[in-house]
């Protein structure tokens, strides 16, 4: 009768994994959400605690600030790179794409560690600056917000460049030629035709970078040297040092809600980009 049977045989194939994921992924998250409002009884005390304790607001504010700056840095560095890659010969495009993808395959620990070598007080950059006499004393790149932002930007740049490049390649050259033949200058073609067409991909990529920065843990821990804690580092302290599970659960919930909200926005932007 019904065109879609309720539980056909294929559902049986999905069932084992579904049960596994419900038991050890969904259930723990639901229990965590519940814990943030039910310990010891129904209460919003733990959320009040987050708002009233200035340290959590500072950490949230810092995380937000780092996420915004990282997103802008990735867009500013990534957009010209993707645009340049679009104009390369197909062989060089493959090479450039390989270079962009390369860091994906290297442990984030390794990449973060490398920045200590490069940017430390005795690092390559500081020694060059000192030898050239540009600075009198080593510049403090590390163990502050700047170091963390350099690290996050380095890790997240490919997440913006790859989808942006893919979207730019799909932009039809004939549209640009048509605009040119109608008398538009190169800069006008870019500003009025190319840029608007690439905007949805730029927006989606930027939101992705923004979301991913929010959960960063390793980079602030290592390049911030404990002085630049972000939300994830605060969660580490709450769980592993102070054993304050309820506060951790509340802070995780805030992080989860922000992440899912941004994700929903990015899906919406992506869908608009696909239809327009």
Partner 1 sequence: MSRILLATSSVLVLAFLCLPALIVIPMSFSSASSLEFPPPGFSLRWYESFLGDPRWLLALQNSAVIALLSSTIALLVGSVAAYGLVRGTFRGRPLIEGVFIAPLVVPSVIIAVALYIFFAQIGLLGTMTGLVIGHTVLGVPYVILVMSVAIRSFDHRIEQVALSLGAPTATMFRRVLLPNLLPSVFAAWIFALIASFDEVIVTHFIAGRHDTVPKRMFNELVLQVNPTITAIATLLIALSVVAIGIIVLLLRRGGVRMQSLT
Nearest distance, CB of residue 57 and partner 1, angstroms: 19
- Asked if 248 contacts 254 with a C-beta cutoff of 8 angstroms, the reply is no
Nearest distance, CB of residue 149 and partner 1, angstroms: 13
- Asked if 122 contacts 204 with a C-beta cutoff of 8 angstroms, the reply is no
* Shorter beta-carbon distance to partner 1: residue 97 or 145: 97
* Shorter beta-carbon distance to partner 1: residue 42 or 105: 105
* Shorter beta-carbon distance to partner 1: residue 97 or 197: 97
CB atoms within 10 A of CB 12: 9
Nearest distance, CB of residue 22 and partner 1, angstroms: 8
Nearest distance, CB of residue 256 and partner 1, angstroms: 5
* Shorter beta-carbon distance to partner 1: residue 57 or 257: 257
Q: Which two tokens stand for residue 168?
A: 């730019």
- Cα 42 to its chain centre, rounded Å, is 34
- Asked if 226 contacts 219 with a C-beta cutoff of 8 angstroms, the reply is no
Q: Which two tokens stand for residue 76?
A: 């500013």
**How distant, in Å, are the alpha carbons of 24, 77, 143, 164, 173 from that of 169?**
41, 18, 39, 9, 9
Nearest distance, CB of residue 10 and partner 1, angstroms: 3
* Shorter beta-carbon distance to partner 1: residue 162 or 179: 162
């Amino acid at each position: 009768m019904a065109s879609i049977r309720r539980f056909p045989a294929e559902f049986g194939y999905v069932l084992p994994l579904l049960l596994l994921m419900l038991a050890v992924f969904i259930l723990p998250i639901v229990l965590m959400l519940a814990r943030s409002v039910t310990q010891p009884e129904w209460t919003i005390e733990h959320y009040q605690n987050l708002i009233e304790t200035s340290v959590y607001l500072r950490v949230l504010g810092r995380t937000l600030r780092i996420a915004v700056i990282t997103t802008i840095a990735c867009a500013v560095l990534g957009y010209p790179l993707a645009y340049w890659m679009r104009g390369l010969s197909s062989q060089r495009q493959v090479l450039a794409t390989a270079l962009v993808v390369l860091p994906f395959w290297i442990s984030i620990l390794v990449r973060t560690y490398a920045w200590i070598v490069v940017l430390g007080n005795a690092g390559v950059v500081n020694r060059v600056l000192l030898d050239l006499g540009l600075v009198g004393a080593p510049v403090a790149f590390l163990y502050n917000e700047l170091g963390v932002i350099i690290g996050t930007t380095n890790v997240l740049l490919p997440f913006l460049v790859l989808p942006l490049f893919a979207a730019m390649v799909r932009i039809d050259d004939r549209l640009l030629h048509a605009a040119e033949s109608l008398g538009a200058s190169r800069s006008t073609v870019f500003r009025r035709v190319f840029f608007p067409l690439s905007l949805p991909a730029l927006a989606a990529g930027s939101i992705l970078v923004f979301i991913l920065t929010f959960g960063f843990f390793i980079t602030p821990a290592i390049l911030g040297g404990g002085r630049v804690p972000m939300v994830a580092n605060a969660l580490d302290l709450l769980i592993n040092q102070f054993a304050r599970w309820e506060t951790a659960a509340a802070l995780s919930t805030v992080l989860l809600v922000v992440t899912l909200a941004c994700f929903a926005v990015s899906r919406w932007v992506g869908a608009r980009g696909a239809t327009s």
